[in-house]
Amino acid sequence: MFTKGMRAGMYLSHLKAAVNKITIESKPEVRITMSFGCAFGTELVNNLIGTADKALYESKKMRDAYTIIDAKNGNA
């Protein structure tokens, strides 16, 4: 059985791989990347948005990455 965090990681991994395959014919040297921040838990939506924003900030430090935080216990 997969946890919410594991499922989110699988979806984000597939999305990241799909984005990395995108090419621009006129600019083949351009590489498209994306960073993602994800939060889940039973918190209020406003709190989850703040947690997801922190996760996104962590991902941007690494570039082309994703970070998932369980808002219930703050674990990434």
In a domain, 42, yes or no: yes
Segment 34-51 mean pLDDT: 90
12: burial class by Cβ within 10 Å (0-12, 13-18, 19+)? buried
Domain extent, residue 55, equals: 4-20+33-70
In a domain, 57, yes or no: yes
In a domain, 25, yes or no: no
In a domain, 40, yes or no: yes
Q: Domain tally for the chain?
A: 1
72: burial class by Cβ within 10 Å (0-12, 13-18, 19+)? exposed
In a domain, 76, yes or no: no
Share of the chain above pLDDT 70, in %: 95
Top pLDDT among 40 and 72 is at: 40
**pTM, entire model:** 0.79
Segment 10-30 mean pLDDT: 93
Instruction: Please tell me the predicted confidence (pLDDT) of residue 43.
Output: 83
